[in-house]
């Protein structure tokens, strides 16, 4: 016959390996989710915005909802100049580049966006990545190589951890915001080794800021370079809105500032700015920059327009801070436990004892027309359940009042305040 003999080696027999479902490791998570949804609550991770009517309001399940869980800190998403810049770039350059920055994906708007970043930050160099996640991935994995050390805060964002895993350096963690622990761990490393200390201006879960002057002094004492992620500080910290590092007066000692367009800038993309004289070589060696497509021209054009407007946004900054302080004081007065003693940033975290109360509060708020972020482990440190509120410069005084009224009603209904 024409039948091909099956070689003994691949014939399935008694000693064949059992087929193993690679999804079985997710079974506990699937079961936990199913149990939660069986109680009748909405899925906090499956919210759909049916229409977005302004930087602060959307229609969710047919209901007008105030948005208090976006990172639209400066409310730039509906700015007419930003939208016009995006539309013009769509007309002039098409919908996308279909290529990497290094080969066929650098258009005039990408260079203009990097110029806008250099103007905003007052630096010699600026490099745009396709997301902030990739900016951290690329910068950290490329800067710190074999034999070098990365020293990072234990509560660092996932993109910072992933940047460590992508590279070949040794990774050392220090206790969140502890200057003493940073000093101790740096002191144990070989003196001559290359060292990169990675910090964040604002930590996004609790909204607390880093003691940058003390940390910078310690890092410099041990001969380390410093990268500061200002994702949640750009736009409203410092005289020019550059971030916490500007506000705290340590700009001259920070080697690399990483940021994102997905928060105050109001679109998507990431970047790194620096004055390092050899910075431009990164365009050739940084894999998350080289091996991915560049952002659509319309996106970088909106980013450039937004960044240039953020240079003259003192009134917006002042209103955002007023909103943040008022919400913090109001929630505290109502009896909620908050992530920080005072309003340290535009993020205010309401701490709840368990998942049940957190989801109960989250749903009660949504039913009244308020969307906040539910955050749970592993995104949150130390097994905490948070309702994360992030304010916008475009939230009106009236909206902040409505927000407090809704928190009071939901808190009483769920029983987390008296
Ligand atoms: N760094 C920090 C501290 C962040 O919080 C985030 C996003 N939440 C990022 C980086 C990644 O930014 P992007 O959304 O642009 O990928």
Does 27 fall in a domain? Answer: no
Does 16 fall in a domain? Answer: no
72 lines ligand 1 (CB under 6 A): no
CA–centroid distance, residue 38 to ligand 1 (Å): 32
The CA distance from 84 to 87, in Å, is 5
Give pLDDT, residue 107: 98
Give pLDDT, residue 383: 77
Atom of ligand 1 nearest to the CA of 203: 3
Does 156 fall in a domain? Answer: yes
Q: Does one domain contain both 91 and 218?
A: yes
The CATH number given to whatever domain includes residue 249 is: 3.40.640.10
Residue nearest to atom 15 of ligand 1 (CA): 132
pLDDT mean over 10-25:
81
Tally of domains in the chain: 2
Q: Is 94 left (phi over 0), alpha (psi -120 to 50) or beta?
A: left
The CATH number given to whatever domain includes residue 363 is: 3.90.1150.10
Is it the case that residue 4 has pLDDT exceeding 60?
A: no
Please name the residue that has the structure tokens 């505290």. Answer: 332
Does 18 fall in a domain? Answer: no
- Phi and psi at 100, nearest 5°, equal -75, 150
Containing domain of residue 269, as a range? 80-310
- Phi and psi at 178, nearest 5°, equal -95, 110
Does 30 fall in a domain? Answer: no
Atom of ligand 1 nearest to the CA of 159: 10
Q: Does one domain contain both 288 and 358?
A: no
Q: Does one domain contain both 155 and 251?
A: yes
Atom of ligand 1 nearest to the CA of 202: 3
Give 376's contacts (C-beta < 8 A, 6+ positions apart): 355, 358, 385, 386
Residue nearest to atom 12 of ligand 1 (CA): 132
- Pair of tokens at residue 341: 């003693």
Give pLDDT, residue 1: 45
pLDDT mean over 298-307:
98
Does 23 fall in a domain? Answer: no
Atom of ligand 1 nearest to the CA of 200: 3
The CA distance from 304 to 126, in Å, is 12
200 lines ligand 1 (CB under 6 A): yes
Q: Does one domain contain both 282 and 330?
A: no
Atom of ligand 1 nearest to the CA of 260: 15
Does 59 fall in a domain? Answer: yes
Q: Is 354 left (phi over 0), alpha (psi -120 to 50) or beta?
A: beta
Please name the residue that has the structure tokens 């098409």. Answer: 94
Pocket test for ligand 1, best of 69, 138, 157, 237 (most atoms within 8 A of CB): 157
Give pLDDT, residue 7: 54
132 lines ligand 1 (CB under 6 A): yes
Banded model confidence at residue 305, pLDDT cuts 50, 70, 90: very high
Q: What is the pLDDT of residues 238-279, one digit of tens each?
A: 999 999 999 999 999 999 999 999 999 999 999 999 999 999
The CA distance from 153 to 232, in Å, is 16
The CA distance from 258 to 219, in Å, is 18
Does 29 fall in a domain? Answer: no
Q: Does one domain contain both 55 and 107?
A: no
Average model confidence (pLDDT) across the chain: 94
Pocket test for ligand 1, best of 70, 131, 133, 199 (most atoms within 8 A of CB): 133
- pTM for this prediction: 0.94
Is it the case that residue 69 has pLDDT exceeding 80?
A: yes
């Amino acid at each position: 016959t024409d039948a091909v003999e099956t070689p003994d080696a691949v014939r399935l027999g008694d000693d064949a390996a059992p087929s193993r479902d690679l999804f079985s490791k997710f079974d506990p998570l699937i079961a936990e989710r199913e149990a939660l949804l069986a109680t009748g609550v909405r899925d906090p991770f499956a919210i759909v915005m049916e229409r977005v009517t302004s930087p602060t309001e959307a229609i969710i399940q047919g209901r007008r909802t105030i948005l208090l869980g976006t990172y639209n800190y400066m409310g730039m998403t509906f700015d007419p100049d930003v939208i016009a810049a995006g539309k013009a770039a769509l007309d002039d350059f098409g919908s996308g580049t279909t290529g990497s920055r290094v080969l066929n994906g650098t258009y005039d708007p990408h260079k203009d966006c990097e110029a806008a970043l250099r103007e905003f930050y007052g630096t010699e160099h600026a490099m745009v990545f396709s997301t902030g996640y990739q900016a951290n991935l690329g910068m950290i994995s490329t800067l710190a190589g074999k034999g070098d050390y990365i020293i990072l805060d234990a509560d660092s964002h996932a993109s910072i951890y992933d940047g460590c895993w992508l590279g070949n350096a040794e990774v050392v963690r220090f206790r969140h915001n502890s200057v003493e622990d940073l000093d101790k761990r740096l002191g144990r490393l070989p003196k001559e080794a290359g060292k990169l200390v990675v910090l964040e201006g604002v930590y996004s879960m609790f909204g607390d800021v880093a003691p940058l002057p003390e940390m910078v002094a310690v890092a410099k004492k041990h001969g380390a370079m410093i990268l500061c992620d200002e994702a949640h500080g750009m736009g409203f910290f410092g005289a020019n809105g550059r971030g916490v590092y500007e506000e705290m007066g340590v700009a001259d000692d920070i080697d690399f500032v990483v940021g994102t367009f997905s928060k105050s800038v109001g679109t998507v993309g990431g970047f790194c700015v620096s004055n390092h004289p050899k910075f431009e070589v990164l365009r050739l060696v940084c894999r998350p920059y080289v091996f991915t497509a560049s952002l659509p021209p319309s996106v970088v054009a909106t980013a450039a327009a937004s960044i240039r407007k953020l240079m003259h946004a003192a009134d917006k900054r002042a209103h955002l801070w007023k909103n943040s302080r008022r919400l913090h004081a109001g929630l505290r007065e109502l009896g909620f436990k908050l992530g920080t003693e005072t309003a340290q940033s535009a993020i205010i975290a309401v701490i709840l004892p368990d998942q049940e109360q957190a989801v109960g509060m989250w749903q009660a708020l949504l039913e009244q027309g308020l969307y906040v972020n539910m955050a749970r482990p592993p995104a949150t440190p130390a097994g905490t359940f948070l309702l994360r509120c992030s304010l916008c410069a475009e939230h009106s005084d009236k909206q902040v009042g409505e927000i407090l009224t809704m928190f009071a009603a939901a808190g009483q209904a769920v029983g987390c305040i008296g």
